[in-house]
Structure 1
Amino acid sequence: MLITSPANPRVKAIAGLRRRRVREQERRTVVEGRDELALALDAGVVPELLLLCPDLMADGVLADVLARAEALGVETVHASRAAFEKAAYREGPDGVLAVVPTLQRRPEELTLPDDALVLVCEGVEKPGNLGAMLRTADAAGVDAVVAADPVTDWGNPNTVRASKGTVFSVPVAAASAEATLAWLDGHGIPLVAATPDTATVHTDVDYRGPVAIAVGTESTGLTEALLERAAHRVRIPMAGRVNSLNVATSAAIIVYEAVRQRG
C-alpha cells in the first residue's frame, strides 16, 4: 500500500499522537527513527503499524526494516515524502516510523532485584531531560525509572527520541509522588534526595544495597514531601556561580557514584 496524500486519514491519525490526550486515550505512541525502532524491537515491542518512506531511507535500510517487520507480522505501509513528513514529528526524518503501544505502567507492576537501584524523577517537565536520564539509566544498569507526579508522559515522541529508544529497554513507571514513596517503603528501598540545600556531598553516602535516587525540577527541585522522607539529602559540589546543574546531568553524576560503589 502506498499513501501519497498528507490528508490521508491514517497519516492524520499518526500525527494526532503528538498530543498527550490522544496518546492516553488510544494507548498508542510513535517511535521514529531506525535506531530507536531497532532498540524497541530488541526489547520485545511489537508495532501496530510501520510507516516507511523509501525516498528518505538510506541504502539497505528498507530491506532490513521490512525483514524484521515481516518476521513479526507487522502491517507495513509505504508513504510518499510529503505524506511521511506530515506524519513525522521531527525535522530531517530518516523514513522509518512505527506506531506502538504506550508504556502505561504503575510502580507496583515492576519487578525488582533485592539490591535494586532506582531513579525517581519528580515533576520533570522536559522530554529531553527524561530521555537523557533514560540513556544514563540504560548505560548504568539502573533497575527502574519512576516518574513521580509526571508533567510529561513516557510515550511523548520527544522523550522516546531523546532516549534513543531506551525507554523500551529500561523498566519505567509513573505515579503520584505519594504513591511512589509508598511503593519504595513497601520494598524497603531508602531514598537519597538530590538538593543543593545540604552539607552532605553525594560521595559521602553508601549506595550499596537497595536504594532510590531522586531528582527534581531545575527551577524548584524536589518537593518537601520527598525531601522529608529521604534517608539522605545530598548535593553535588559546585565551584562556579550557578547553584544547580541540568537535572539529567545531576542524575548521571549520582547514579554513576552509586554504580562505582556497588562495583
Structure 2
Amino acid sequence: MKLAFYLRLSLADGDLGKNNKDESNSIENQRLILQNFVESMDELDGDVTEYVDDGHTGTNFNRPAFQAMVEDAKRGKIDVILVKDLSRIGRDYIGVGDYLEQIFPILGVRVIAVNSQYDSNNYIGNTMGLEMSISNLINTLYSRDLSKKFKSCVQTKWKKGISTYGRVPFGYKKGEGQQWEIDPEPAKIIRLVFELALQDYSTLMIANELNERGIPTPGKFRKQRKENIVWNRKVADEEWLWDARMVWMTLRNYTYTGALVQGKTSNIR
C-alpha cells in the first residue's frame, strides 16, 4: 500500500499562535500524529511519502506539495492520503468538498483526516455528511475572519508610519520599529539623480552622467555592500549600468518625497 502524509502550516491562516509558535499544528506534531495513527492501524501497512507545504495558505490549492501530491495520485502512486485534520487539506469549503467527494474518489484514493475522524471509506457513494460539511464551512469562515483581522493589523501599522515592505527602497534603511530612516551613502546617489533632473537633464542624460562618474546602480551598490539579496542578473559587472528606465523609476518613486506608500493594490474577494 502506498501512503501519503500531507502536512501544512501557514501563518496567514492563523495556524501559528503566540510568538509564531503553535505546537499543535507544527509540522513535526502533524507528522507524529499521522505516524502513531498508521502504527495503530494494521491495514495501513506500506511505504510513506511526505508532502509538506510549510508557510502556504489553505485558502487556495496553489501549493507546490499539494499539487505534486495530486499529480502523483493521478499517476497511481498513492492509495491513501492522511492528514491531521480537514483544515490541513484546505480552508476553502467548496474546494475541499470537491477534492473529497469528486477528485480523490475518481482517482481511487482514500482520504483519512485523523483528528476530524473522517475516513472517505465511510462515505463511498455518499456525500461527506452534515457534520463534515459544517466543519469545512467553519474552517472557511475562520480563515476569512483571520484574513480581515490581519489586513486591519497591517493598515494600523501603515497609519503609524510602519512599513510592511519586505525590502526598503534604495536610499533608506530600517530603523527602530520597522520605520524607514535615510541611509546616508545611497541617499547621495538618489539626491544626485533629482539634482540632475532639476537641471533639465533627460532620463537618458542622467543615466549617461551617472555611468560616466562610475556611480553604481542600486543593485550593484547592494552587492558591493554584500547585502543578502537574491539576484536575477545576466550581465557582467562592467555591463551593470544605469539606463533611462532605472532613472525614470527613481524619479517616479513617491517614497522619495518622505511619504510612506503602502497598499496600492489589493485583492477583492
**Bin of the TM-score, shorter chain as denominator length:** under 0.3
Q: TM-score normalised to the size of structure 1?
A: 0.24
Highest relative contact order (Cα 8 Å, sep 6+), 1 or 2? 1
Is the strand fraction higher in 1 or 2?
1
